[in-house]
Amino acid sequence: MSKTVDIHVHHVTRVEGHGNIRVRATDGVIEKLEWQVPEAPRFFEAMVRGRKYEDIQTVVSRICGICSVTHSLAAIKAIENAMDIPISTQTDRLRILTHYGEQLESHILHVGYLVTPDLLGQKSVVPLVGSHPDVVNVVIDLHRLGNLMMEKLAGRKTHPVRLVPGGFAMLPTAHDLRQLKGELVAAVPKLEALAEVVANLAGGVPHFSRETEFVALVNAPTYPFYHGDVGTTDSDEIVSVLDFENVVNEYVVAHSTAKWSKWHRDSYMVGALARFNLNADYLAPLAKKTASALGLEQGCCNPYMNSVAQVVESVQVVERSIELIDEILTAGIEYQRPEAIIQAGCGAAAVEAPRGILFHRYEFDENGICVRANISIPTNQNHANIQKDFEEMVPQIIDQDQDHIRQQMEMLVRAYDPCISCSTHYLDVEFV
């Protein structure tokens, strides 16, 4: 009797946005294997045309609820680049701090709420409330802290209000910052507890490796999320963010509403693992220690380890935030009104979203009206790599039962922490 594998996951669950997986195989011969992205396209690049520069970050923030600070910052940096708007050291530090808040919130949400249920054999975080209350409480506390940082610094948890070209529409008080610092210091042992839980579950992380290209911001000697140019593990060259189109090389595939990318080879990966592989030397001490405790080493090519790299980065941003608050408080907070002199120009910027490098470019006319925009989001840059992972992994496990194959594939997609709403939505495994 011939064995048929027929998988169709329509809208993979526990990811942001919509994606489908389709597999068809007879007697171990794969006939169809596709990662599809049917998210409703949203056309932001067209939507911002004709809008005034001061409204851009408000609109593009809505590309993605979970990376809204990153999208706002990328837009603001690109606008400042286009119009030569100077910013102060204070603004720079406060933006980085706000951005750390989003990294923490998003990483904890992903690892705690979306990935851990897989590792504990559950379909959602809800049953864990009863079975693992201590884990759930740590996750809730850390997630809330990331949100608190954004709320105190940017005026709201999702879709920042205070981040504007030229600086901050309103500044936090020294009291706010001291309060945040207290919470951050208290979060360190919670992060250690979370790392321990993850270390115990690490055995459940599938063993799969595929050599690929990793791409992230580099800015030696720091572990950058906000500054830097584009680095790759495939060469020593560092590309200016102003030339980002030469990195992303976008193309359209038939089964996807999202655009795909490739650079030195057929696909590349962005995200926490890429950042780690390029910049691990510059991690703060506790983050470094956490990485080795979790068995994460530079050069790791197991995409499932992206979630582990997110835990390491959660430690990194908390450690750096504590230092950064000290720097800001020592310098003293000075009232500065954001100013911009409107002029025509074209500008680009890159910022690391929790799920990988994000590029924005805008062109403005002399009235500050946007005439052209180009946005390359991290999830789109990962699509080709997900497909290539499938092509290598599925033949290795095609003899196993269909549910297992399906689960491994869904977990792989989830490991990338895709945010398909940006790409404009995905996840459906279809075994047809």
Partner 1 sequence: MAKPRIAIFDLACCEGCQLQIVNMEDELVQLLTLVNPVEWREAMSDQSSNYDIAIIEGSVTRSADEMRVRDIRIRAKYVIALGACAMQGGVNKLKNNFSLQEVKKEVYGYAADQAQFDTFRTKALAEVIKVDFEVPGCPIEASELAHVIKCLLTGRRPKLAEHPVCVECKMKGNCCRYEYDEVCLGPITRAGCDARCPSNGFWCFGCRGILPDANMDAAREAAALHGKSFAVLQSKLELFGSE
Torsion, Cα 310 61 156 316, to 10 degrees, reads 20
- Applying CB under 6 A, does 289 fall inside the site for ligand SF4? no
Q: What's the min distance (Å) between Cβ of 268 and partner 1?
A: 21
Residues in contact with 144: Cβ distance below 8 Å, sequence separation at least 6, in sequence order = none
Of residues 164, 205, 291, 309, which one binds partner 1 by CB under 8 A?
164
Q: Are the C-beta atoms of residues 371 and 394 closer than 8 Å to each other?
A: no
Q: What's the min distance (Å) between Cβ of 17 and ligand SF4?
A: 12
Q: What's the min distance (Å) between Cβ of 47 and ligand SF4?
A: 12
Q: What's the min distance (Å) between Cβ of 252 and partner 1?
A: 4
Nearest to 140 by CA among 154, 153, 125, 127: 125
- Applying CB under 8 A, does 340 fall inside the site for partner 1? no
Q: Find the binding residues for partner 1 in span 50-109 (CB under 8 A).
A: 50-52, 55, 58-59, 62-66, 68, 109
Strand partners, 429: 8, 21
- Can the peptide bond before residue 221 be classed as cis, meaning omega within 30 degrees of 0? yes
**Quick one: 65 or 206, whose CB is closer to ligand SF4?**
65
State how far the alpha carbon of 28 is from the alpha carbons of 1, 4, 219, 412, 428, in Å. Answer: 13, 8, 46, 20, 22
# of chain residues touching ligand SF4 (CB under 6 A): 2
Q: What's the min distance (Å) between Cβ of 63 and ligand SF4?
A: 9
Q: How far apart are CA 187 and CA 320, in angstroms?
A: 13
Nearest to 382 by CA among 297, 235, 272: 272
H helix intervals, 251-377 = 272-279, 285-293, 306-331
The interface partner of residue 144, options being ligand SF4, partner 1, none and the CB cut-off 5 to 8 Å by kind, is partner 1
- Applying CB under 6 A, does 65 fall inside the site for ligand SF4? yes
Stretch that binds partner 1, among 254-262, 270-278, 283-291, 301-309 (CB under 8 A): 254-262
Amino acid letter, residue 24: R
- Applying CB under 8 A, does 186 fall inside the site for partner 1? no
Q: How far apart are CA 373 and CA 359, in angstroms?
A: 11
Stretch that binds partner 1, among 166-174, 177-185, 345-353, 382-390 (CB under 8 A): 166-174
State how far the alpha carbon of 379 is from the alpha carbons of 19, 328, 352, 386, in Å. Answer: 11, 33, 12, 10
Contact set with ligand SF4 (CB under 6 A): 62, 65
Contact set with partner 1 (CB under 8 A): 11, 13-18, 38-43, 45-52, 55, 58-59, 62-66, 68, 109, 113-114, 123-126, 129, 140, 143-144, 147, 155-159, 161-162, 164, 168-170, 252, 254-257, 259, 421-422, 424-425, 427
